Amino acid sequence: MTYTVKEIYLTIQGEGVQTGVPAVFLRFSGCNLWSGREVDRKEAICKFCDTDFIGINGVNGGKFNTADELASVVEKIGVKSAQKWVVCTGGEPLLQLDTALIHALHSKSFKIAVETNGTIKAPKGLDWICVSPKANTEIKQNFGNELKLVYPQSENEPRKYENMDFDFFCLQPRDDSYLGKGNISHEKAVIDFCLRNPKWRLSIQSHKYLGIA
């Protein structure tokens, strides 16, 4: 298949259980819950996404004809990192991440993490699965390493996921910056919830506070 990639860059994981870990971020274009265009946001299934995943115009973005070609670019970008992690994200990465690319990245000695909305079953061979479920969707990837729920979401209470097979349960304040608002009120709500429900831990988007991608 041809892989359509928005951007690839070396950074520090800014949120969730692996906060602080150096990684190559491989952001695929496209999502199955929103077009990425503001004109479609009100009608989208996921209305609060804060990420630009349209097109191939980001740093190192493009169309890659083979898994080996894409894995070689990831290797060049990640050569400075002692911890060989690649985080496959989007949009929705499981629309494109397949067995061929998993094998190609493993052949370059990378561990592979995926950040998915959970509506598509993950292929075998991934080293870290983070599912971020959205309201009004069917979760097909109901197990993994980390469930990271953006909070609050209408009709999507944290307790509905507590019996799923994940090692960690993270609650992350919803970022309403797309509305021209901050998320301070949501941070307080998440902290209060975690204090009352110790199964959940706070996840902060530290990369935004630090001003890194």
Residue numbers annotated as active site: 25, 31, 46, 49-51, 115, 207
* Inter-residue contact 172 to 15 (CB < 8 Å): yes
In eight-state DSSP terms, residue 104 is H
* Inter-residue contact 71 to 105 (CB < 8 Å): yes
- CA dist 78 to 21, 91, 117, 141, 207, Å? 13, 21, 25, 28, 18
3-class DSSP string for 120-179? CCCCCCCCEEEECCCCCCCCCCCEEEEEEEEECCCCCCHHHHCCCEEEEEEEEECCCHHH
**In this structure, which amino acid lies at residue 134?**
K
Half-sphere exposure of 160 (CA within 13 A, CB side): 13
* Inter-residue contact 176 to 153 (CB < 8 Å): no
Tokens at residue 64, please? 């890659």
Residues 6+ apart with CB under 8 A from 141: 94, 116, 118, 119, 120, 121, 122, 129, 131
